Amino acid sequence: MAIDVKELMAKVGKIRILTNKLIDDQLSGDYHSTFKGQGVEFDEVRPYTVGDDVRSIDWNVTARTGVPYIKRYSEERELTILFMVDVSGSQSYGSRGRTKADLAAEVTALLALTAIRNQDKVGLILFSDRIVKYIPPRKGRDSVMRLAREVLAASEDAEGGTDIAGALKYLNGVQKRRAVVFLVSDFLGRGACDRMLRATAHHHDLVCVSVSDPAESELPDVGLVELEDPETGELVLVDTSSAAVRRSFAQTASEEAEELRRFLAKTGIDSLALSTDRPYIDDVRALFKRRARKR
């Protein structure tokens, strides 16, 4: 699908206005108290003194000098925030006035603008069943709006399936230093990515952001309809007038969502569930408050 540049820029402009207002009105201070200062980095070594924690001894320097030294750490003032956004075929779907891709772009811009205001760096990885684009982390407001623009533009041409495991493997290859990673996807047919989710959460501060649409969990009663899988192109004829079909559809969707929720809770990965039919600011604030309590 050809990209309408004027329409794209209009969407980006609306996102800028919306997210700036939300940050000013409702997120001031929440981000800083949740993320800033949570990391530490190596600063220097100094001679050991009585009372120091022996677990901080630098054994390499101690062996070299013959005198015990300990490692000293300082709080990380600058964080790296990376957004991994799913732009596969299913992201172009939306039944309530905006698509899942629109929602993903908005929440990415919101979180990125908040990070930039706190002097952090932001970067982006767009993926489907391949890596679509990588933008290395950098500072500056212009980079934030570029992130939103890239998400929307990539979604205009969204096609293909979803390879979350492959995207996470790529992330761990290009981002060696610990980062806060927001993985934004509908997680439909997430496949065998649980192992990579665990591995990534061990190395990075991973937050899984699931975006959904109400029609994906509840079929309307409109008779016989032909449904197309946006990622595979497969066509299926479904009798939505059947109560049994609608119940089965809803049950399967509910079980898949619950399975993901349980897995993330079990592995200690923070999560944020968003839907195209409701505002997301309260959900974002709730995430920040949960993380603040955990700290």
> What is the distance between the alpha carbons of residues 229 and 235, in angstroms, rounded to a whole number?
7
Tell me the per-residue pLDDT of 77-134, one tens digit each, with 9 for 90 and over.
Answer: 678 999 999 999 888 888 878 899 989 988 998 898 888 888 889 999 999 999 999 9
Indicate the residue type of 18: L
> Mean pLDDT over residues 49-59, rounded?
80
Backbone angles phi, psi at 3, to 5 degrees: -85, 125
State both tokens at 174: 């290009």
H/E element, 63: helix 59-65
> What is the distance between the alpha carbons of residues 201 and 238, in angstroms, rounded to a whole number?
39
> What is the distance between the alpha carbons of residues 164 and 61, in angstroms, rounded to a whole number?
41
- Tell me, yes or no, if the pTM score tops 0.85: no
> What is the distance between the alpha carbons of residues 51 and 48, in angstroms, rounded to a whole number?
9
Candidates 227, 223, 255, 254; CA nearest to 240 is 223
Domains and CATH numbers, the chain: 5-35+77-294 (3.40.50.410), 42-75 (no CATH)
Query: Which of helix, strand or coil describes residue 22?
Result: helix
Beta carbons of 270 and 287 less than 8 angstroms apart? yes
Beta carbons of 158 and 87 less than 8 angstroms apart? yes
Tell me the per-residue pLDDT of 176-229, one tens digit each, with 9 for 90 and over.
Answer: 989 999 999 999 867 789 999 999 999 999 999 999 999 888 888 888 888 777
